[in-house]
Structure 1
Amino acid sequence: MRLVYAILFLLALIGAVFGLAVITQPDPVELWTLLEARWRLAILAKPMPQTWQTMSGAVSRDWRSSSRMRAQTGLGSHMA
């Protein structure tokens, strides 16, 4: 009997979410843009690897200090 109640509760919860979505009528393009922005932020928030593969092999460097140096020297400022 608990399983039946659990399934009914989940169906009611899903129905409430869809009902709210129909009432508020979100713009699909705007919703997708928000999801894409959140996805990109999640990717940018991941720590970058310390070892970068280059043509000459593995080069270990701190990516934060290199971007800071580029910002100070003015190189790469057009990329920001």
Structure 2
Amino acid sequence: MANISTTKMSSKGQVVIPEAIRKKMKLKSGAQFVVMGDKDVVILKSISPPSLDDFNDLIAEARKQARKAGMNRSDIVAALARARGKK
């Protein structure tokens, strides 16, 4: 990615991504990012939710692993309740 540009941070901490970079990366309003910072370096990594097919694959794998571990639906409901602070 050879596009280099400068930008400023507003008093509210907002940073504008220059138009040329937004166009090249096909970024739209509402795009989400992971932000990492260390010393004088800030990195923005664009993220997007998995596609429905990818999500279904993740769910299928989670179910497979749960069965392999001997878990059933009531175990999962109980674990969710504990994680949410309910008993």
TM-score of the pair, normalised by structure 2: 0.28
Question: Higher helix share goes to which structure?
Answer: 1
Greater radius of gyration (CA): 1
Structure with the larger strand share: 2
- Normalised to the residue count of structure 1, the TM-score between the two structures is 0.30
